[in-house]
Amino acid sequence: MTTDFVKALCGSHKVELVSVANHDPEDWFACPICNMGDTRENVLREVGRHTQEIAARHLQEAARNTARQSKFITLSRKTIPKGIYRFVGDFKV
């Protein structure tokens, strides 16, 4: 399954979700290995949350690198907690 810009993967197996034929509701996507699935809408929502987390972590990392080179900026040590997702975006992390 492909969202607007990334593939939707099973959070456990990191394999692409596939459309399940003859399923009710019809727009059902699931992992071919563990059968974990949900409607297209719910998968997209979860992949969206995962995408936000990845983006936030990258931003924080970039801000840290900047802060390290400046004695005028200090940042908190708090890192963004890793969420648990049934479905994730296809990011190399």
Contacting residues toward Zn ion, per CB under 5 A: 10, 12-13, 31, 33-34
The least CB distance from residue 44 to Zn ion, in Å, is: 17
Helix, strand and coil percent figures for the chain, each rounded to 5: 30, 20, 50
Q: Which is nearer to Zn ion, 40 or 57 (CB)?
A: 40
Q: Which is nearer to Zn ion, 39 or 60 (CB)?
A: 39
The least CB distance from residue 65 to Zn ion, in Å, is: 35
Give CA separation, 75 vs 19, 40, 58, 64, 81, in Å: 44, 38, 15, 7, 16
Q: Which is nearer to Zn ion, 13 or 45 (CB)?
A: 13
Q: Which residue has the tokens 């990334």?
A: 6
Q: Which residues pair with 38 in a beta bridge?
A: 29
The least CB distance from residue 61 to Zn ion, in Å, is: 28
